[in-house]
Amino acid sequence: MIDQPDNRERQEAGQRMYDLIVELYPICRSITGNGVRETLEIIGKHIPLQLVEVPTGTRVFDWEIPREWNARDAFIKNAAGDKIIDFKKLNLHLLNYSIPVHQKISLGELKQHLYTIPEKPDLVPYRTSYYQERWGFCMSQNQLDSLEDGEYEVYVDTSLEKGHLTYGEYYIRGETDDEVLISTHVCHPSLCNDNLSGIAVATFLAGEISKTSPRYSYRFLFIPGTIGSIAWLSRNESRLPHIKHGLVITLLGDDSGFTYKCSRQGDATIDRITTYYLRKRFKENSKTIDFIPYGYDERQYCSPGINLPVGCLTRNPYGTFPEYHTSADNLQFVKPERLYESLKVLRELMDMVEKNDTYINLNPKCEPQLGKRGLYDKLGGRSDSKTMQLAILWVLNQSDGDNDLLDIVQKSDIDFQLIAEAAEKLKESKLLKTVR
């Protein structure tokens, strides 16, 4: 039983998640390096996170852990010696994984190393070059257009050396070995929705679940995108059969409605539960889409040889909003109340995951006599019926080992919580047992 009435502490979670985002925002993260370590250490103040270091050069399936990248400083000075670009003010200005450079060059040469978004001339883009060595800067198109001819000094003080890829893992042991995987990426620098929002919500969700006694075990992964999930999967293949449900979570702080992208399986329990829940709770202001093989780490979890029941929960999805991967994805773009709402949605989804059992009716031949067990209204012949009694009849009739509670909810159009309560009553009356 994960979901519980909100109390003050919980209601304040929205502001506390936002505060965590404020703390993490200035850090320059990448797929490796001290920015990730620093981020995981801050998360570790909230939950007992285990840090894992994978050495450069380690084979992880088809990939190899790259050299570790660290950035200390970077700027561009104009002929007058003014810093027109300063990494220390906004780390997006530096092409992520840029190699070091220090030289004076003409505007023409400089332009070969500048990245902008011409159609959004005010915004600084976020760009990376993990697997090809180059250096570069990101700036707004407006700034680029204003640059005058002359000599510029470019300075990038980074290192790209043997080291490690770092990720964080938190495992909450439940009643069973079967587990729920929650994965979120920690490789993006100063971008709030993508993905400090996912980091904050995952951290607080983990904290809440750790205070309950869940049926499932829960594994929270805070990993660099792509290479991080590939590394984790390659090192944990024997765990995979235990993963019964999973979500990649990200983009959870803005004002838009929720989007759920199904797992590759398409009809996994997590797909059915999330689709049902969002539709029921948010109606048209939410949507479910089929799996597509691009986006976040669900690409790896749902590769054909892994094929886990892992979907992706976001608000506005990957790449579809104007602030995406730009300097506009900042502290103004995410809101405490939206973070809180996202946390609540996840809490309620996990509660459904916990309760959604498949049962066997132990008295399958005709209806059991409910009256003698106090499960039936004693005065017959009435033309109205109470919903709980209907719920009891539905659960009894459909519990043949093939239907889980969500199936029964969908056939009966009775609320999930009521169906779950009916199942609980029937289990207590020894009329139902769980299929294991």
Contact set with a second copy (CB under 8 A): 60-63, 96, 125-132, 226, 229-230, 233-234, 264, 290, 292-294, 299-300, 302-306, 319, 324-325, 361, 363-369, 371-372, 378-385, 390, 393-394, 396-400, 411-412
As a whole number of angstroms, the distance between CA 185 and CA 243 comes to 19
Residue with smaller CB distance to a second copy, 356 or 398: 398
* DSSP 3-state of 123: coil
Instruction: Give me the least distance between CB of 142 and a second copy, in Å please.
Output: 19
Nearer to a second copy, 81 or 118 (CB): 118
248 Cβ neighbours under 8 A, 6+ residues apart? 183, 184, 296, 297, 298, 301, 310, 311, 312, 313
Tokens of 279: 């539709």
- Coil/strand/helix, residue 68: strand
Q: Which is nearer to a second copy, 149 or 384 (CB)?
A: 384
Task: DSSP letter for 278, please.
Answer: H
CA atoms in the 13 A half-sphere facing the CB of 194: 21
Nearer to a second copy, 48 or 371 (CB): 371
CB of 318 to a second copy, least distance (A): 9
Provide, rounded to whole angstroms, the least separation between the CB of residue 378 and a second copy: 5
Pairing label, strands 243-249, 164-172: unpaired
Q: How far is the CB of 320 from a second copy (least distance, A)?
A: 9
What's the closest the beta carbon of residue 290 comes to a second copy, in angstroms? 7
**Residue among 269 and 361 whose Cβ is closer to a second copy:** 361
- Nearest approach, Cβ of residue 87 and a second copy (Å): 16
Q: Which is nearer to a second copy, 189 or 214 (CB)?
A: 189
Tell me how far, at minimum, the Cβ of 24 lies from a second copy, in Å.
Answer: 19
Instruction: Confirm if 219 and 283 have CB atoms less than 8 A apart.
Output: no
Looking up tokens 């070969």 gives 112
Report the b/e string of 394-422 with b at 16+ CB within 10 A: bbbebbeeebbbbbbbeebebebebbbbb
Tell me whether residue 13 or residue 392 sits nearer to a second copy (CB atom). Answer: 392
Q: In this structure, what token pair is assigned to residue 96?
A: 């992520």
